[in-house]
Chain A
Amino acid sequence: MLKFLLEKEFKQFMRNPVMPRMVLIMPLVMMIVFPLATNRQVQDITISIVDNDKSQYSMELVNKITSSGYFILSDYSSNYSNALKSVEKGDAYIILEIEKGFEKNIVKEGSANVIISANAVDIFKGSVGASYLSNIIYDYSLELQEKLAFINTSPAINIIPLNEFNQTLNYKNFMIPAIMVMLVTMITCFLPTLNIVSEKEKGTMEQINVTPVNKFIFILSKLIPYLIMGIIVFTICIIIAKFLYHLDAKGGILSLYIFTLVYVFVSSGLGLIISNYSYSMQQAMFVMFFFVMILFFMSNLFTPVAYMPEWGQAIAAFNPLKYYGHAVRSIYLKGAVFSDMYRELIILGIFAVVLNILAVISYKKNE
């Protein structure tokens, strides 16, 4: 029986002019375009410099900044207010003002002042830019200390930052696992749900209900094709990540698939519950977007859950995507294997069981 239903399902799917292509195009576009487009790496920050000293040291400092690769010199301004104008125009993002007597003060007193002002409209870019800049200045001041051989002013603590798990602080590596879990969620939650609701809408569901086809088998015939498609899309993502971004799952492919296999049941269970309460495609679509937005934003995907207020963390604790996203990211970046993440796996398993039981109950209730 299931065989005939699946056969019918695949026939309908392959015959649809859009769907089979979409299942290929969606992961390609999301994996190729989004990581490149939504780049959060801060570089090429335009800088306006107000050099009131125009000495050898101040020149050296400016050279060091412009050759760092992070900053592009937009202009030299004669004073601070001119520099601010170029920020207002959008030519510059950050201002460095070097005080008059910069060189003299360093040589004579061992210290001198500079002012960094950053445009904080984009908080992230502004603060990261300012901290890059102060790092460069700090480096330069260390050089000067050596050169001028100041005694007992060398810093007692020297900080050497090392970014573990994503050494180059590559934002793409952070986002790719997130895009993968979003894709799996959309395919395994949206597609079976919309398919079931469309059968309701067209009345074919009623025709099936008067045949000996068991409800359970019918639902299964809706889930299996899209679970397979979810896994296929996931595989496409793994391949793109490897060959386009040279990102390997450090924890191994097997762990990825184990988590995904459990998660697709969570995601489709949620979809089934929605389909049981939906009487039109419009309603199903709208309700699903509502839940998917919650899933996406109340998880680790964009904002770390640890940064959320306590009530936000409490909501996120009931978000299965948080655990799945965390697992996939850890497997990719930290090299975790599923035995390291057994807690997440168990929680996802509980989600899968509970959601599917709720789906069956709500299905019976709406009979």
Chain B
Amino acid sequence: MVKVENISKAFKKMQALNDVSFHAEKGELFGIIGPDGAGKTTLFRIMTTLTIPDNGTVLINNRSIFTDYMEIRKNIGYMPGRFALYQDLTVEENLNFFASVFNTTIEENYHLVKGIYSHIAPFKNRKAGKLSGGMKQKLALSCALIHKPEVLFLDEPTTGVDPVSRKEFWDMLYDLKNIGITIIVSTPYMDEASRCDRIALIKNGVFIDVDTPENIINNFNQTLIALKADNMRQLLKDVRKCSQIKSAFAFGAEIHAVIDSDDYINDINNQLKSLNHKNIEIYRISPAIEDCYIWSR
């Protein structure tokens, strides 16, 4: 459904995307995961025909972004990272407007947005600018959906949204996926990666991995340990000095470290004890996507 082949794009001397390729099937929920500045938005702008790439091509349902962009625009829904609806129009007027520019009506496709729009329908006469963040998000999704797109592009839809609304939002995406809409979604939150069918990890404009979240974790063929002690700041410094530790990084209240084998755990413990660390805890853990992401650099 969405075929991205060898896309490169540079802005002046800054290489925003470098030889990026992936392929998403119909009805797939595909996640593009990476921190701010990794090139996610540039990739979205290329896929949605807003920016022309320097190299490579994108096919959306076998339509090229170079020649059939008008056809593509009729059949995709795009929700940019920033709320981009008319704040001085009401909720209903916004939805109506976007339905009419796609030559359709709210009634015709109401079944598609019903689950989402019903949350904000009580506020349909309120100006879009006066909605809360979560409601704005729902309205934007409704407007992106109202013309029954084949593919939905969501650029960081959950950034700046509270945890409850985030969960709600992902549930809505599942409903849409289940009626056969292909969804390409980007997020800087690694914990959301597991909710996608497949993900691409993007770093500095390069895809470092494209796979299902399970496979990415399974392919992490290193031993990961978590460390804790009283003086965490000193601990990180000392851990990084240990010869057995290949990589260490702060992870919430713990330090995650990559080692070659479980056998080193005792050795590391002793070394840290000799450096006067108190209440040392070291245990083996299974990796999360974030560990894979950080390790892969």
A358: chain B residues within 8 A (beta carbon): none
Asked if B88 and A16 make an inter-chain contact with CB atoms under 8 angstroms apart, the answer reads yes
Say whether B101 faces chain A, with CB atoms less than 8 Å apart: yes
Instruction: Tell me what chain A mostly uses at the interface: helix, strand, loop, or mixed.
Output: helix
> Interface stretch among A51-59, A107-115, A202-210, A308-316?
A202-210
Q: How far is the CA of A202 from the CA of B88 in the complex (A)?
A: 12
> Interface stretch among A3-11, A75-83, A93-101, A281-289?
A3-11
Q: How far is the CA of A97 from the CA of B70 in the complex (A)?
A: 84
Q: How far is the CA of A208 from the CA of B88 in the complex (A)?
A: 16
Asked if A207 and B88 make an inter-chain contact with CB atoms under 8 angstroms apart, the answer reads no
> Interface stretch among B1-9, B74-82, B231-239, B248-256?
B74-82
Q: How far is the CA of A202 from the CA of B73 in the complex (A)?
A: 20
Are A207 and B50 also in contact (CB < 8 A) when A5-B101, A212-B70, A213-B101 are? no
Asked if A210 and B87 make an inter-chain contact with CB atoms under 8 angstroms apart, the answer reads no
B82: chain A residues within 8 A (beta carbon): 203
The residue in chain A whose Cβ has the minimal distance to the Cβ of B79 is A207
Q: Which of B49, B70, B87, B100: most chain A CB closer than 10 A?
A: B100
The residue in chain A whose Cβ has the minimal distance to the Cβ of B81 is A203
Say whether B86 faces chain A, with CB atoms less than 8 Å apart: yes
Are A12 and B89 also in contact (CB < 8 A) when A204-B84, A210-B76, A212-B74 are? yes
- Which of the residues A11, A206, A211, A212 comes within 8 Å of B89, measured between beta carbons? A11
Q: Which of B84, B87, B102: most chain A CB closer than 10 A?
A: B84
Asked if B101 and A210 make an inter-chain contact with CB atoms under 8 angstroms apart, the answer reads no
Say whether A365 faces chain B, with CB atoms less than 8 Å apart: no
Q: Mark B5-49, 1 if CB is under 8 A from A, else 0.
A: 000000000000000000000000000000000000000000011
Q: How far is the CA of A208 from the CA of B84 in the complex (A)?
A: 9
Q: How far is the CA of A288 from the CA of B297 in the complex (A)?
A: 49
B84: chain A residues within 8 A (beta carbon): 202-204, 206-207
The residue in chain A whose Cβ has the minimal distance to the Cβ of B45 is A206
The residue in chain B whose Cβ has the minimal distance to the Cβ of A205 is B84
Are A210 and B89 also in contact (CB < 8 A) when A1-B101, A4-B101, A8-B97 are? no
The residue in chain A whose Cβ has the minimal distance to the Cβ of B77 is A210
A208: chain B residues within 8 A (beta carbon): 101
Say whether B98 faces chain A, with CB atoms less than 8 Å apart: yes
A5: chain B residues within 8 A (beta carbon): 101
Say whether A89 faces chain B, with CB atoms less than 8 Å apart: no
Are A210 and B50 also in contact (CB < 8 A) when A4-B97, A12-B89 are? yes
Q: How far is the CA of A1 from the CA of B100 in the complex (A)?
A: 8
Say whether A15 faces chain B, with CB atoms less than 8 Å apart: yes
CB distance from A7 to the nearest CB of B (A): 8
The residue in chain A whose Cβ has the minimal distance to the Cβ of B71 is A212
CB distance from B53 to the nearest CB of A (A): 13
CB distance from B72 to the nearest CB of A (A): 9
Say whether B103 faces chain A, with CB atoms less than 8 Å apart: yes
Q: How far is the CA of A34 from the CA of B87 in the complex (A)?
A: 37
Q: Which of A1, A16, A204: most chain B CB closer than 10 A?
A: A204
The residue in chain B whose Cβ has the minimal distance to the Cβ of A213 is B101
- Which of the residues A16, A206, A211 comes within 8 Å of B101, measured between beta carbons? A211
CB distance from B256 to the nearest CB of A (A): 37
Asked if B50 and A211 make an inter-chain contact with CB atoms under 8 angstroms apart, the answer reads no
A210: chain B residues within 8 A (beta carbon): 48-50, 73, 76, 78
A213: chain B residues within 8 A (beta carbon): 101
The residue in chain B whose Cβ has the minimal distance to the Cβ of A3 is B100
Say whether B93 faces chain A, with CB atoms less than 8 Å apart: yes
Are A12 and B100 also in contact (CB < 8 A) when A206-B80, A212-B70, A212-B73 are? no
Q: Mark A1-38, 1 if CB is under 8 A from B, else 0.
A: 10011001001100110000000000000000000000
Say whether B193 faces chain A, with CB atoms less than 8 Å apart: no
Q: How far is the CA of A16 from the CA of B76 in the complex (A)?
A: 32
Q: How far is the CA of A203 from the CA of B97 in the complex (A)?
A: 16
Asked if B76 and A12 make an inter-chain contact with CB atoms under 8 angstroms apart, the answer reads no
The residue in chain A whose Cβ has the minimal distance to the Cβ of B149 is A210
Q: Mark A185-211, 1 if CB is under 8 A from B, else 0.
A: 000000000000000001110111111
The residue in chain A whose Cβ has the minimal distance to the Cβ of B48 is A210
Q: How far is the CA of A16 from the CA of B86 in the complex (A)?
A: 13
Q: How far is the CA of A209 from the CA of B45 in the complex (A)?
A: 11
Q: How far is the CA of A234 from the CA of B157 in the complex (A)?
A: 47
B83: chain A residues within 8 A (beta carbon): 203
Question: Can you name 19 A-B pairs with beta carbons within 8 Å?
Answer: A1-B103, A4-B97, A4-B100, A5-B101, A8-B86, A8-B89, A8-B97, A202-B87, A203-B80, A203-B83, A208-B101, A209-B50, A210-B49, A210-B78, A211-B101, A211-B102, A212-B73, A212-B101, A367-B52
Residues of A within 8 A of B (CB): 1, 4-5, 8, 11-12, 15-16, 202-204, 206-213, 367
With A11-B89, A212-B74 given, name 4 new contacts (CB 8 A).
A8-B93, A11-B93, A206-B50, A210-B50
